[in-house]
Structures are given as structure tokens and as C-alpha cells.
Amino acid sequence: MIQLHPLDIYIIAILFLTILGVGLYLGKSSGKDSSQFFLSGRNMPWWLLGASMVATTFSTDTPNLVADIVRTNGVAGNWVWWSFLLTGLLTVFVYARLWRKSNVKTDIEFYELRYGGKPARFLRSFRAIYLGVIYNVLAMAGVTLSAIKIGQIMLGVSPITIVVVAGLTTVVFSAIGGFKGVVYTDLILFFVAMTGAIGAAIYIVGLPEVGGLQQMILHENVIPKMNLLPDFNNTDLLITLLIVPLSVQWWSSWYPGSEPGGGGYIAQRMLAAKNENHAIGATFFFNVLHYAVRPWPWILVALASLIVYPDIASISEAFPSISVDKLGHDLAYPAMLTKLPTGLLGLVLASLAAAYMSTISTHLNWGASYVVNDYYVQQINPDATEKQLVNVGRITTVVLMTLSASIALVLTNAYQFFEIILMFGAGTGLVFILRWFYWRLNAWTEISAMLASGIISILINFTPIGEWLFGTDIGLFPTYLKFPFVVFSSMAIWVSVTFLTKAEHQGVLLSFYQRTQPGGPGWVKVLDRAVKEGSEITISDEPWNVPSGIIAMLYGCALIYAILFGTGFLLYGLYLKAAIAFCITGLATWRLLKQNIRVL
């Protein structure tokens, strides 16, 4: 536990008061109607939305998760989330424009645009509760868990105190300020969070016990963890950390902030953009900051922690007040932060509070938008006034925060939670990618995919079946096949269900095509039928943009991965490799411009 200097307290207090002030100031305009409360009137610029996306995905659990990954599997272990860049850039160059064209209020409303009848209504309402309440509450609980751990290690503060102070502040400005309050405070929180993360990394690497950057990367505890790619001689690790994420995971798994085809709070921000180009610009800006800019400060602190706290036992010895059920490698990050000096400590604590509030506020507004727009209006009060909708949204915000705070008290560590969420979304991703471009998918496709992935994940993670199939000693298959097993088993079920159930009504399909104009060979049969029946349908003269979008995605991946690797090579002192990486960045940027991709 550390004692805060008055300067540190002032810095933290200023941040909290600023955030509350912004929320209160924007509360009047946000409360006008549900569109203002959840989408800010659909007039937000790309740079503001992009900063909001990256602030949301930078939470208290993120540096803890990265520390856990680096200490367990080395820097290369980060491929479990770096692989999602492919998903993110596919959203940028293919799906951002489609989402903005759809003009729905939430991505859950999409279900009754794309599908029809009772199955579509059921799917919309069920997903609203499943994602907006159950999944959302679990995600916020994971974030709150990390905040609790940071508070315990750095300040010796009880979990209840952390939840009340940080949670109450967040829920107040979220409930009053609505989406506009969330987005504008996200901009402030992003800069505070990044300043704190970079400042902490610079100071910690320079600690006498670490010895500076050059000494750190030569330390015997650090050298085995530094590689940017897994050891190709270790088959199990190579498949688990690189091959499965790059070949299967990125397109097959639903994960908050990295949904195949876009979705969740990323879709919410695309829907709030001024126009299609601003939606594209926002998502591209987000992916550059998320993958190329943010990781290295966290990675450096995680590597330094291997010198100061080489194992969990050393963390436990240094912080004996931490309960056994909360011990884990993810504690290394806040443990290192206890060594910061006055002023910087206050800034870093403020940055972690900023990271917490930006993520929680987004999840609260996003979850409330599902409950209000996709459940309350559809199932309870279709004639609700705009004032009633805003009030229900505010009440829902408070309830979601209360539930997530309660669950956070029983969770253990960040990486465990990451793996559970990833597994539960396995097998559904391809549905979210294909539903825009293949007419035959129906509401039962999504229902069966969601149920199959959830049930199969439960069976192999929480029952003896999992031990029988993938157990270390008696399992029939190696453990690295667990994730692909869930994916392809789920896919076999939803593909079968798709072709065993009726296709959507022609009128529903034509209405969807008319609004979004997805194009491609997957809609030829529907359009040919429309021509034969004499139905009125407008077809865009523009060429199908998916092939060029996929090429742009690949160039974008080369650009961002090259920045990520080039930065790492610079830090490692490998200047020739860094120069090559940045040359690749320039070449990829030139090719993107040649593709005439209008990002802004």
C-alpha cells in the first residue's frame, strides 16, 4: 500500500470533477429524446468517435491482461488479441459503410431489418437481454475486478470503496450525459490514460532494480519473453498463440470491440457518425491507435515486472494483504505502479480511473440502448414517449452498474475472463460476416449459432466432457484444438439449421437489399426473382466493393502490424529490422492510397 501525496489527490479529484462537469453540462441536450441519448443525433465526427472507441477498449483490465499474457506466454502471447486487427479492418473497409446505410438505432435492431416474422422478433429481444444485460454485465464485472485489484494493491482500499466511488461517478455522468457525454468524456479520458501509461512505462523501465531499457532486455528473466512471434519449434505454443488466432479466431469469434462484421459499441459509434465516410474514418483511426500505438507501454511494464516480481509468490510476499483468490500474474502491473513518484503516481491513478470510466460508461450506454430500443419498446411499451425512453435508459444504467459491481467481487483474474468470453463467442463470427452478403441465412441461423456456441462451450469448459476430450492426461485431442472444436461444431449446427428451415420472405430480403445495397453474387437469386415478379428494386451502379475492401484490409494490416513490429524493434535496439518494418509501413500506406480508399 502507498500513501498518496496531496498533489496526487488533487490530480485525481480534478479528473473526477471534470468528468462529472461534462456529463452534467451535456445532460440537457442528451435528454431531449432517445436518439440524442443513445446516438447524439447521428452527427458525430470521425476523430471523436475513433478516440471514443479506443478509450472504451482501454480499461483497467487491459494493461492487467497484457501483463498476464506477457508473463505467461511472452510478448508473442498478445497474438490472441492482435489477430483481431483483421476483423477490425474488414469492418473499416467493408462493413462500416453498410452499417451507416442501415440507419438502425442499434445493431440489434438490424435483426428485424434483415429477417422477418416471429423468429426475428424473438432474436431481437433475446439478444437485447443476452448481450445488453447478461454479457454486458459480465464484461463490466471483469473491468471492475481489475479496478478492485488496483485499488487493493496500490491504496489498500476495500473493494466496496472502489465500486462505490468509481462506479457512482461513472453511473452519474453516463445516466445524465447520455451518449454525447460518454463520447466527449472519452476524448479527455483517452489522452489522460495514454499519458499515464507512457509516463509509467518510462519511469518503471528506468528504476534502479530494472536498470534501464538496455539492461532490461538483456536480463535472464526477460529474454525468453521478448520474441514477437512464438517459438516455431514449440508446436503446441505456435498453434495456440499464432496459427489458431490468425486462421480461425479472428473471423469466427464474437468479442466486444472486435466483432466480425462490426457490432456492439463499435456499431453504435458507426451509427452515430455524420455519414458513411465518417464511419469509415472512425473505425480506421480506432484500429491504428488500438493496435499500433497502445500496446508497448503496457508490454514494457510487464517485462520489467519479470525482474522485480519474477513469479506470483514474489507478488504475494510483497503484498500480503491480497487475498489468495485474487492472486495472479495480472497483479504485476499495479504492483509495478506502486513504485511511481509523487505527481506521476497521481497522473497514473487518474489515467487508470479514466480507463475504467471510459469503458464502463460506454458499456452502460450501449447496454441501456439494447434494453430500451430492442426490448422495452418491442415487448413492454410500444407507445412509450421519448421522455419515458430516456428515463428507462437512465434507470437501466443504474441497474447494470449495480449488477456488474456485485459479480466483480467473485471473479479471480483478467486472462481467465478473457478466455471465457472468447470461447462463448466461438463459431458465431462467420454468421455476422455472411448475413450481409448471402440471402439464404435466416433468423434461425443466428439463434442456432448463438445457442450452439454457448452450450458446447459450457460442456467442454465446465463438465467432465471437456476433460475427456481435451484433458492434459486423458484427453483424446490436444488442448490447442479446443477452440477450433467449438468453432467448427457450432458451424456444423448452424449451417444445418439454415438449410433445414425456410428462407426469409422475399419482401423482407428486398427491403433489406434496397436500404443497404450490399451487392455481390450472394443476392443474385433474390434480384432475379424480383425482376421476374416485377418488383420495384433499385440497384446501385457502383461495382461491388468487397474485393477491393479485402485488398485494402490486407494493406491496412501490413501498415499497422509494421508499425507495431517496428516500434518493438526500435525498443529492442534492432534498428535494421525497425527500418525494414517502417519501409513496409510506407509501402502499405502508398498502396492504400492507390486503392483510392476514402478513409476520411
Q: What is the mean pLDDT of residues 385-408?
A: 82
Among 396-405, 466-475, 590-599, the range of highest mean pLDDT? 396-405
Residue 599, pLDDT score: 40
Sign of the CA dihedral running 103, 106, 107, 109: negative
Whether the pLDDT of residue 29 is over 60: the answer is: no
Give the model's pLDDT for residue 600: 39
Cβ atoms of residues 124 and 111 within 8 Å:
yes
pLDDT at 493: 95
pLDDT, tens digit, for every residue of 230-274?
A: 888 888 888 888 888 888 888 887 766 677 888 777 777 788 888
Give the model's confidence band at 299: pLDDT under 50 very low, under 70 low, under 90 confident, else very high.
Answer: very high
pLDDT value for 596: 61
Mean pLDDT, rounded, for 211-228: 93
pLDDT at residue 35, as a whole number: 55
pLDDT at residue 43, as a whole number = 74
Choose among 561, 65, 7: nearest CA to 301: 65
Is the separation of the CB atoms in 308 and 210 below 8 Å?
Answer: yes
Q: Is the pLDDT of residue 33 over 60?
A: no
Phi, psi of 32 (to 5 degrees): -65, -45
Per-residue pLDDT at 82: 93
Which three-class secondary structure state does DSSP give residue 538? coil
Please name the residues in contact with 210: beta carbons below 8 A apart, sequence gap of 6 or more: 204, 216, 304, 307, 308
Cell of 68: 498476464
Note whether 40 and 180 are within 8 A (CB): yes
Distances (CA, A) of 188 to 25, 185, 195, 266, 593: 15, 5, 11, 19, 31
Q: Evaluate whether 374 touches 109 at the Cβ level (below 8 Å).
A: yes
Measure the CA–CA gap between 198 and 484, rounded to whole angstroms: 36
- Whether the CB-CB separation of 113 and 104 falls below 8 Å is answered with yes
| H, E, C per residue of 189-230 | HHHHHHHHHHHHHHHHHCCCCCCHHHHHHCCCCCHHHCCCCC
Question: Is the model's pTM score more than 0.75?
Answer: yes
Q: Report in angstroms the alpha-carbon separations of 226 from 183, 292, 307, 516.
A: 36, 17, 13, 46
**Integer Cα distance of 260 and 282 in angstroms:** 17
pLDDT bucket at 328, cuts 50 / 70 / 90: confident
Predicted confidence at residue 32, as pLDDT, reads 57
Distances (CA, A) of 444 to 123, 441, 493, 504, 508: 9, 8, 11, 10, 15
- What pLDDT sits at residue 40? 60
What domains can be seen in the chain, in order of their start residue? 6-85+128-234+273-413 (1.20.1730.10)
Q: What is the pLDDT of residues 396-407, one digit of tens each?
A: 888 888 888 777
